[in-house]
Amino acid sequence: MTAGTRASKESVDGPANQDEGALQSGHRGRPSSGVESTAVRGASRRRLPIIASISRLIDVEIDGKTVRAPEGSTILDACAGLGVDTPTLCYSESLAPVNACRVCVVEVEGSRVLVPACSRRVEKGMVVSTDSDRVRHSRRMVLELLGSSVDMSLAGPDVARWNEVYEVDAQRYGPPAPASAAGERDRRRPGHHEAPDGLTAANVAQPVKIDDELYIRDYSRCILCYKCTQACGEDAQNTFAISVAGRGFDATIATEYDAPLTDSACVYCGNCIGVCPTGALMPKSEYDMRQDGTWDESKQTTTRTVCTFCGVGCNLDLHVQDNKIVRVDSPKDHDVTHGNLCIKGRFGYSHVHPAFPGD
């Protein structure tokens, strides 16, 4: 069996089969949901590591060049194999693709609309263009639409590069509208909105949510990539403390009724922080230093070590500035953690630092 078919087997057939029992014994004899829908979402998303040697290879044409890609891999993988730079925002190797941002779209011959490279699997004889006018236009527009509505200043060097490559002009939508009051965006009624005046560009600017000393949520920077909800939910933590709430442009990442994190189901694993691509979720330590103007990545070192709290063996990346741990991450490509940690590994480092000067 090839890795490709195994991937789809596990995500479609596996849980579906397990659920046969549930279907029969579902509430009041009704058909039932749950695992199966997870499987659907998984069907296009979850991927197993692809072992090229046991996968059937199929020929795909990308930008006029033929590549052999393992069956079950995505267009994004195939592009990477060719060294083609594909912008991605909502994609992460540790999470099932949600295909929401659409910045990775490519043109596939025979498809009326563009398709997301991050999730569409290669098919035999597929003809893909990654740099046509339509593709460039859509990528530029996605980046512009985000740039004009979200604070992308901490989204990293890749985004800055793509902004150049695709000649993004986020200013042409007008000056930004003033920031919303705290909580206002969390209470908008679905299906209703204030008519715009066209003078300013609507955006998601709002005050930072600070509920505790561990991490902050700055939804002015949120591109609604769904990564945090996946990391908190079925892809890693299974806590489901946060979800997308509301609808359309007024959709937000939220706890129920916008409750403070401290009153929510959050267990402070910080896995959402680890996947957030825009700095919307950030350790409080980092946030405070940025506010003080003391955060300086050029002065930081990163040390990989093993967490000492328990026997699981999670790897930690300790970011240290001025001899102090300022942030803890976990390597995404590590077999044990895939970037995930628990509250102890991510936030339990204060004992390393002397409590009193001179200790």
Partner 1 sequence: MDLRLSSATATDAERSAVDALLGLPDTRWEGGDREDAADARIARTGAVQRARRTELLPVLHAVQKAIGWVSWGALNYVSLRLTVPPAEAYGVASFYAMLSTEPQAGRVIHVCDDVACRIAGAGAITDALRTQLGEHPSPSGACTFLDSPCLGLCERAPAVLVQRTGLDADLAIAPASPGHVPGLLAAGLSAPDYPEPVESIPQAAGPDRDKLRLLRRIGVVDPTSLAAYREAGGYAALDRAMDIGTQALRDEVTASKLMGRGGAAFPTGRKWSAVAEQSAQPHYLVCNADESEPGTFKDRVLMEGDPFALIEAMTIAAYATGCSYGYLYIRGEYPLATARLAAAIHQVREAGLLGGTDILGRGFCFDIELRRGAGAYICGEETALINSIEGFRGEPRNKPPFPVAVGLFAKPTVINNVETLLNVLDIVVDGGESYAAVGTPDSTGTKLFCLSGYVKMPGVYEVPFGATLRELLDLAGGITGSKRLQAIMLGGAAGTFVTEDALDTSLTFEGTREIGASLGSGVIFVLDDTVDLLDTLTRIAAFFRDESCGQCVPCRVGTVRQEEALVRLGRPSANGARGDDKALLADLAGVMSNASICGLGHTAATALSSALKAGLLDNAFQRADAVRTGAAGAKSATTSAEEER
Give the one residue of 101, 224, 273, 282 binding ligand FES; rule: CB under 6 A: 101
Please tell me the count of residues contacting ligand FES according to CB under 6 A: 12
Q: Which does 333 bind (CB under 5 to 8 A by kind): partner 1, ligand SF4, ligand FES, none?
A: none
Whether the Cβ atoms of residue 114 and residue 129 lie closer than 8 Å to each other: no
Q: Which does 227 bind (CB under 5 to 8 A by kind): ligand FES, ligand SF4, partner 1, none?
A: ligand SF4
Q: Which does 91 bind (CB under 5 to 8 A by kind): ligand SF4, partner 1, ligand FES, none?
A: ligand FES
Give the one residue of 78, 84, 103, 241 binding ligand FES; rule: CB under 6 A: 103
Q: Does 99 bind partner 1 (CB under 8 A)?
A: yes
Q: Does 266 bind ligand SF4 (CB under 6 A)?
A: yes
State the DSSP H helix or E strand holding residue 253, giving kind and residue range, or none if neither.
strand 252-254
Q: Does 116 bind partner 1 (CB under 8 A)?
A: yes
Whether the Cβ atoms of residue 250 and residue 188 lie closer than 8 Å to each other: yes
Question: Tokens 């009153």 appear where?
Answer: 263
Q: Does 222 bind ligand SF4 (CB under 6 A)?
A: yes
Q: Which does 208 bind (CB under 5 to 8 A by kind): partner 1, ligand SF4, ligand FES, none?
A: none
Give the one residue of 10, 82, 93, 173 binding partner 1; rule: CB under 8 A: 173
Q: Does 159 bind ligand FES (CB under 6 A)?
A: no
Q: Does 88 bind ligand FES (CB under 6 A)?
A: yes
Sheet of 215-217, strands arranged across: 209-210, 215-217, 281-283
Give the one residue of 89, 126, 232, 276 binding ligand FES; rule: CB under 6 A: 89
Residues 6+ apart with CB under 8 A from 41: 96, 234
Q: Does 190 bind partner 1 (CB under 8 A)?
A: yes
- Interface with partner 1 by CB under 8 A: which range of 21-29, 158-166, 299-307, 322-330? 21-29
Q: Minimum Å distance from CB 262 to ligand FES?
A: 31
Residue 296's SS3 state is coil
Angle between helices 157-165 and 133-149 (to 10 degrees): 130
Q: Which does 299 bind (CB under 5 to 8 A by kind): ligand SF4, ligand FES, partner 1, none?
A: none
- Interface with ligand FES by CB under 6 A: which range of 3-11, 93-101, 189-197, 210-218? 93-101
Length of the chain: 359
Closest CB to partner 1 among 201 and 343? 201
The alpha carbon of residue 142 and the mean position of all alpha carbons in its chain are separated, in whole angstroms, by: 16
Sheet of 57-62, strands arranged across: 65-70, 57-62, 127-129, 105-108, 115-116
Q: Which of 210, 201, 148, 207 is nearest to 180 (CA)?
A: 207
Q: Which of 121, 78, 96, 346 is nearest to 225 (CA)?
A: 96
Q: Which residue type sits at 35?
A: V
Residues 6+ apart with CB under 8 A from 195: none
Q: Does 228 bind ligand SF4 (CB under 6 A)?
A: yes
How many CB atoms are closer than 10 A to CB 134? Answer: 13
Please give the residues from 111 up to 140 whose contact with ligand FES meets the rule CB under 6 A. Answer: 116, 118
